[in-house]
Amino acid sequence: MSTIKCINGHESSDSSLHLTCANCGGAMLYKDACLLLQNLPKPEPAFEKVSVIFAGLPKSSLLEGENRDVYVASIAAGDNDEFEKIETFTMRRSEAVSWFDFYSKYLDKLQAWMKFVGLGRSHYRLLVVDTRKPLSVLVLAAISQFGKNTIVFAVTADQTSTLIEQNNSYAAISTALKKGFPVVAASTSYLDDLIFYTENDGLVVRSQALMPVLHLLVSSIDTVTDMLGNDVRLGVREHCISAILSASEKVYPSVDDVLYTQESSFSINAKKADIATAYLLAFAPLDVLNRIDKAFAKYRRQELKEVIGADHQGYPRDAGSSSALYDLMMIYGIKEGSTYAPLKKGYDSVASKVPDLRIEKVS
């Protein structure tokens, strides 16, 4: 502890705290002594490299269960009281019915929670949002405060969805694009039919089959962010995917066959004529990656001659993985309107009856 002196310069003769000096009766200068104390170290909290937020969808145990530099949280509407935790923000479903209700009531609260949990301190953000849900517009508006290095993976309505789901989805996608986010879309029909075999979890279907795809995106987040950022600068903000997981030579004679096969599994109802850019992510043993490099170069020359840009990135599989299996995912930049134009009729049908459900209500 610093030496304590009185106003006349006498040091305290014992360790007890006194208001006056035992020698002269002068006031003890505790304030001056405090200034001489050593400064405490400045706290420097560590934040994860990637923040993954699930909105309207259950969190992925695949991302949570691994020792990764990833923060995973969820935003949901529930039947109980609203509450905020480090990894959960829950709103009362009874307090809001439409997307405009959620947006009007919770925007300030959700923005504050996002700041509190440090979303802005992660280098990358992946928002996985079910745009069919009324909370989707709110979440997209709130996260726009962290626009840089933020990717939106959107489950979208389609012609099999209800009119109100189409209105929700159209408003959410429009909000995301208005805020400048690159959007990777997967439609309701794609999700309903989705099925993969994975090395660790076996057969996964529907929304659970989406989780290994998100795992690949997070694993390659640096590359994906750069690719989609380049697309945004080119004016391409809408994207879809096509993935084939756990491929092997027992199923596909060659990598060339896999590349041609994936064309039939776009995540939205898009056609090859809609493609503006194409990026391949490959996760495979080194010897297979070499074959993939050659196969993609050939595929790009033959099938992607008209696109603005095409590239690929390979990732060696982790030690211990089966050498017989590899994963390929294509991310396609698509022409403007591909994700929301099919929803316009459903959106207008609802918005014409309820003026509050027009996207002009979102600032």
Distance CA 83, CA 88 (A): 8
Tell me the pLDDT band of 38, cut-offs 50, 70 and 90: low
pLDDT, tens digit (0-9, with 9 covering 90-100), for 104-138: 999 999 999 999 999 999 999 999 999 999 999 99
Q: Are strands 88-92 and 70-78 parallel, antiparallel or unpaired?
A: parallel
Q: Which are the contacts of 354, defined by CB distance < 8 A and separation ≥ 6? A: 98
Amino acid making up residue 32: D
| 28 neighbors 20 (Cβ within 8 angstroms) | yes
Average model confidence (pLDDT) across the chain:
89
Tokens of 334: 């698509």
- Measure CA of the first residue to CA of the last residue in the chain; give whole Å: 56
Q: Is the dihedral of CA 279, 280, 283, 285 positive or negative?
A: negative
Distance CA 243, CA 263 (A): 9
pLDDT, tens digit (0-9, with 9 covering 90-100), for 282-332: 999 888 999 999 999 999 999 999 999 999 999 998 655 556 789 999 999
DSSP string, 68-106: -SEEEEEEEEESS--EEETTEEEEEGGG--SHHHHHHHH
Q: Could you give the C-alpha distances from 21 to 30, 31, 37, 226, in angstroms and in order?
A: 12, 15, 21, 68
45 alpha-carbon distance from chain centroid:
22
Distance CA 176, CA 147 (A): 10
Tell me the helix, strand and coil percentages in the chain, rounded to 5.
40, 25, 35
pLDDT, tens digit (0-9, with 9 covering 90-100), for 218-267: 999 999 999 999 999 999 999 999 999 989 888 888 999 999 999 889 99
Q: Is the pTM of this model over 0.75?
A: yes
Distance CA 232, CA 333 (A): 10
